[in-house]
Amino acid sequence: MSANLSAIFYLISGILFILALRGLSSPETSRQGNYFGIAGMTISIIVTFLSVGNFGSGFVYVLIFLLIGGSLGAFIAFRIPMTAMPELVAGFHSLVGLAAVFVAISAFLKPEAFNLGFLGNIKLASLIEMSLGAAIGAITFSGSIVAFLKLRGIMSGAPITFKGQHLINLILGITILFLIYYLCKVQSSNIFWSIVLISFLVGVLLIIPIGGADMPVVISMLNSYSGWAAAGIGFTLENTALIITGALVGSSGAILSYIMCKGMNRSFFNVILGGWGATDQTSNSQNKEQKPVKSGNADDAAFLMKNASSVIIVPGYGMAVAQAQHALREMVDALKKNGVKVTYAIHPVAGRMPGHMNVLLAEANVPYDEVFELEEINNDFANCDVAYVIGANDVTNPVAKTDPQSPIYGMPILDVEKSKSVLFVKRSLSPGYAGIDNDLFYRENTLMLFADAKKMTEDIIKNL
Amino acid sequence: MEIDPFIFRLSIFILSIFVGYYVVWSVTPSLHTPLMSVTNAISSVIIVGAIIAALAGSSENIFEKSNIFGFLAIILAAVNIFGGFLVTQRMLQMYKKKKK
């Protein structure tokens, strides 16, 4: 296949990928969008085979490896529980990152296969592109592994900070840039390997100081990095599909990071530099005075909700941990039978990744037109009889509006306190991720339900 | 004077960033998780490079160092392609409208 013809096909793939993302503007068009994505990928792969034109024994091996990886991927995709989606995505990011590193390595070892010159005499531009691609890919890989371990609970979600951390990261970053410059001058493979190794280290150091509840930002950021790594390799290979995709994914991840940071009213750098709540947690628990708390049981909760005319559900990460989404939907069904109007309110940073709660509710067969974003629903709390807070905490804390001293001051929150009564399902009065006490616990109209989210919801169903 | 082909690629890249910017802002927030999994799947188009790397060189010796890295990258990218698209599909199947 001629180079021009294959370039046109790669362009078509790139356009199909744009349409794949475009489809996600509404749930109705999203499935079709996914098919566009699959079509784009199929075209790219077939065109690559045709343009390489080598159908010898190597081709058979390629197909075999493709099948091995593919069946592994398919197996994971069908088996993974929806609650594990954040760690799955983090894991997948690490694979893209590592694949980018490997492709860059082979391009460096055998540049003639990619028309980039010869070993020891690679075109300058290609050398810069492939080393940037390899460095970003390596950071994506090791960073995603750390994110994966934190999300999976293998590694503690607490931020790991030490003195001079940011200085070390800065020095390592500058070292990478310097090595890339040096590589262009001497083209030595040792320098190339050093760039890759240091980048692996940077990825780890970059993610360890970031705490568990900031994971939505981290995952989005790594998503963005995997895109830039792909784009870097795309420039090396002079491949349009890869360049377009890299740019799309890179900007997509960047926008998601921005949305997540805005949801917490924090700057991107504030999140990246890490360690939120790690320091002021102790000081807060010391000066906490005993305040009266009203606590209730499933019977009280069922009574309140049954007699309400409207209920808003506020799910959070705790719902995912307790796997309470199915029980929750059954409860809502029972309430609807009693003529109660029920809607769901989702905070942008609820859960461990963007849109986490929406997927879990969709899994439990909650229709998506009953689920609302913060701006859409926040005014409705004032007219609502009961707010049922299940597994959320910081995102409902009224302190964010009233106390300029609070670390979460200015964060957009769900105005749960405006509803006539609040049912707060929580195991204990312990503070949330931000390490601050939730004012809502002590309000006159709040009834605390101390229990596991799933168990409490099931008990309420029995009493309805 | 001729324009360096690099400039054309750079143009495509920058325009794609703008396209991505507008397209992603129009994605509904409830689909942000599928957005992440599908972007993950499409960024595995890096498999194109992996295939070229794996098939490079003479057909007698297909397991040179550079080929091996290519084959490894094929496995990783293939996990992502199949895993990414299928898990996205699985999620999107779950989004249903209220039965009227």
What is the per-residue pLDDT across A133-147, written as a single tens digit (0 to 9) for each?
A: 999 999 999 999 999
Between chain A and chain B, the number of residue pairs with CB atoms below 8 A apart is 374
Whether the pLDDT of residue A122 is over 60: the answer is yes
Whether residue A135 contacts residue A196, with contact meaning beta carbons closer than 8 Å, is answered with yes
Is B97's CB within 8 Å of A368's CB? yes
Work out the average pLDDT over B16-42. Answer: 94
Whether the pLDDT of residue B87 is over 90: the answer is yes
Find the residue in B nearest to A102 (Cα).
B69
pLDDT at A278: 43
Contacts of A22 in chain B (CB under 8 A): 23, 26
Give the containing element (helix H, strand E) for B2: none
* Residues A12-21 pLDDT 10s: 999 999 999 9
- Closest CA–CA distance from residue A195 to any residue of chain B (Å): 17
Work out the average pLDDT over B11-39. Answer: 94
DSSP state of A130: H
Whether residue A122 contacts residue B82, with contact meaning beta carbons closer than 8 Å, is answered with no
pLDDT at A274: 62
Whether residue A27 contacts residue A254, with contact meaning beta carbons closer than 8 Å, is answered with no
Is B80's CB within 8 Å of A109's CB? no
- Closest CA–CA distance from residue A376 to any residue of chain B (Å): 12
CA pair distance A106, A243, nearest whole angstrom: 19
**CA gyration radius, chain A:** 25
Find the residue in B nearest to A364 (Cα).
B94
Residue A307, helix vs strand vs coil: coil
Whether the pLDDT of residue A287 is over 50: the answer is no
* Residues A374-397 pLDDT 10s: 999 999 999 999 999 998 888 888
Is A250's CB within 8 Å of B81's CB? no
CA pair distance B32, A358, nearest whole angstrom: 9
Closest Cβ–Cβ partner in A238, A253, A365 for B96 = A365
Whether the pLDDT of residue A185 is over 60: the answer is yes
Find the residue in A nearest to B31 (Cα).
A355
Work out the average pLDDT over A315-343. Answer: 91
pLDDT at A90: 94
Q: In the structure encoding, which two tokens stand for residue A241, read together?
A: 């599909």
pLDDT at A312: 94
Is A24's CB within 8 Å of B35's CB? yes
Contacts of A250 in chain B (CB under 8 A): 17, 20
pLDDT class of A275 with cuts at 50, 70, 90: low
Whether residue A275 contacts residue A209, with contact meaning beta carbons closer than 8 Å, is answered with yes
Is A106's CB within 8 Å of B73's CB? yes
Whether residue B66 contacts residue A272, with contact meaning beta carbons closer than 8 Å, is answered with no
DSSP state of A394: G
CA pair distance A65, A256, nearest whole angstrom: 33
pLDDT class of A290 with cuts at 50, 70, 90: low
DSSP E strand stretches across A351-460:
371-373, 386-390, 421-426, 446-450
- Closest CA–CA distance from residue B7 to any residue of chain A (Å): 11
Is B69's CB within 8 Å of A103's CB? yes
* Residues B35-75 pLDDT 10s: 999 999 999 999 999 999 898 876 666 678 888 999 999 99
Contacts of B7 in chain A (CB under 8 A): none
pLDDT at A393: 86
pLDDT at A115: 82
Closest Cβ–Cβ partner in B9, B56, B94 for A238 = B9
Q: ipTM more than 0.85?
A: yes
pLDDT at A200: 95
Of all residues in chain A, the percent with pLDDT exceeding 90 is 54
Side-chain-side CA neighbours of A31 within 13 Å: the count stands at: 9
Contacts of B11 in chain A (CB under 8 A): none
Contacts of A45 in chain B (CB under 8 A): 47-48, 51
**Which of A121-130, A238-247, A272-281 shows the lowest per-residue confidence on average (mean pLDDT)?**
A272-281
Is B84's CB within 8 Å of A100's CB? no
Closest Cβ–Cβ partner in B31, B65, B67 for A355 = B31
* Residues A321-333 pLDDT 10s: 889 999 999 999 9
Mean pLDDT of chain A: 88
Whether the pLDDT of residue A357 is over 50: the answer is yes
Is A415 tagged catalytic?
no
pLDDT at A286: 43
Whether residue A52 contacts residue B61, with contact meaning beta carbons closer than 8 Å, is answered with no
Residue to mutate among A42, A103, A119, A356, with most B CBs inside 10 A, is: A103
CA pair distance A462, A458, nearest whole angstrom: 7
CA pair distance A226, A223, nearest whole angstrom: 5
Residue A236, helix vs strand vs coil: helix
Work out the average pLDDT over B65-91. Answer: 94
More confident residue, B17 or A438: B17
pLDDT at A351: 86
Residue A313, helix vs strand vs coil: strand
* Residues A202-252 pLDDT 10s: 999 988 888 777 888 889 999 999 999 999 999 998 899 999 999 999 999
pLDDT at A86: 92
Closest Cβ–Cβ partner in B45, B67, B96 for A367 = B96
pLDDT at A401: 87
Catalytic residue among A299, A300, A394, A415: A394
Is B76's CB within 8 Å of A96's CB? yes
* Residues A412-438 pLDDT 10s: 999 998 999 999 998 888 777 767 788
- Closest CA–CA distance from residue A279 to any residue of chain B (Å): 31
**Helix pair angle (A124-152, A85-109), 10° resolution:** 150
CA pair distance A48, A37, nearest whole angstrom: 17
pLDDT class of A444 with cuts at 50, 70, 90: confident
* Residues A51-99 pLDDT 10s: 888 777 788 889 999 999 999 999 999 999 988 999 999 999 999 999 9
Q: In the structure encoding, which two tokens stand for residue A63, read together?
A: 């197909």
Whether the pLDDT of residue A283 is over 90: the answer is no
pLDDT class of B28 with cuts at 50, 70, 90: very high
pLDDT at A411: 87
Residues linked to residue A344 through DSSP beta bridges, in sequence order: A313, A371
pLDDT at A285: 44
Of all residues in chain A, the percent with pLDDT exceeding 70 is 96
- Closest CA–CA distance from residue A84 to any residue of chain B (Å): 12
Contacts of B53 in chain A (CB under 8 A): 102-103, 106-107, 110, 113-114
Is B16's CB within 8 Å of A100's CB? no
